[in-house]
Copies of this chain bind each other. A is one copy, B any other.
Amino acid sequence: MMERISFSPLSRLAICGGTHGNEMTGVYLVRALQEQKVNQKGSVSITTVLSNPPAVDACRRYKDTDLNRCFTDDLLSAPITDSTPYELRRAHELNAQLGPKGSREAVDLLCDIHNTTANMGICLIIYSFDWIALHIYKYIQSKATSVPVRAIYLDTPSSEAYSLESVGKHGIAIEVGPQPNGVLRADIFNMVKEAVDLVIEWLQKFNSGSAFEGGEVEAYTTVRPVDYPRDPTTNDITAAIHPELQDNDFKLLRSGDPVFQSFSGETVKHEGEDLYPMFVNECAYYEKKIAFHLTKKITLTLPTISMKNDMDS
């Protein structure tokens, strides 16, 4: 028999943008929600946060260090000193405002909006066994028809999760592309607005007592990152993503398929098991020495969920 799990009402939603200051969809969606004074929709109270204002002002990913790597338990409990980078200070502020992470006071759901230069459509990043986040993914996938909706499933303990969305009791990063850094595309903006509206709609249904039937969903789980070919002396990259791989995130890569084209014209091929690429030619990953990630597709079986009522407690 299908498992059934009940949860307390999910009344407090945080929507964050500008965690990376040059990813414009979240920046402008948060500003628009603030402009329109959206702070309550039915049973759902909404907090909107521009996560990294100095990076937004400079239109850069970050000022001193990547804010979206600062939310592990260790970093959030480290003392702040005069030499603490700006983003780590800001992480402590955000944790105080939206968390504290792992506590009863944390927001019920934290949605953090990101962009990628990769052709990934809408991709929800979800931590393992967050049934709420996985059910919201299932709901968005069934309702959003204009673009593929996929999930990346991270099997990381909450204490080691480094992203902002890990501060909420439940968390989803909404990763959408392709969009260049520093550019705002209306089509991407409209997709993300629709996804956020569907999150709110789901929470309202949940809070009104609807049960959400279990079932199977597909997700991608990371296997390994792949770096660009590099010159052994200068460490400069010596090849670009091959045109046949470019824009083909989540298209199965088989042994022998081209992955890189060197500047002198040679093709480098994929070797080994068949895997799904993602974050192909993501701008911010050049400095992280990642040309793309390889993933496996997995199937997850979700339990039926509903709100805890008085008789459950």
Q: A189-B240, A236-B31 are in contact. Are A181 and B180 (CB under 8 A)?
A: yes
Contact in complex: B28, A240 (CB < 8 Å)? yes
Min Cβ gap A118→B in Å is 9
CB-based contact B181/A283 at 8 Å = yes
Residues of A at the B interface (CB closer than 8 Å) are 28, 31-32, 35-36, 59, 117, 178-187, 189-190, 236-237, 240-243, 246, 261, 263-264, 281, 283-284, 286
**CA gap between A238 and B163 in the complex, in Å:** 29
User: Smallest CB-CB separation from A58: which chain B residue?
Assistant: B60
Secondary structure of the A side of the interface?
A: loop
* Chain B residues whose CB sits within 8 angstroms of the CB of A35 once the complex forms: 263
Contact (Cβ within 8 A) B241 A186: yes
From B31, B185, B237, B241, A281 is in contact (CB under 8 Å) with B185
State whether B283 touches A182 (Cβ < 8 A).
yes
Q: Which chain B residue lies CB-closest to A182? A: B283
CA distance A242 to B264 in the complex (A): 39
**In angstroms, how far is the closest chain B Cβ from the Cβ of A264?**
7
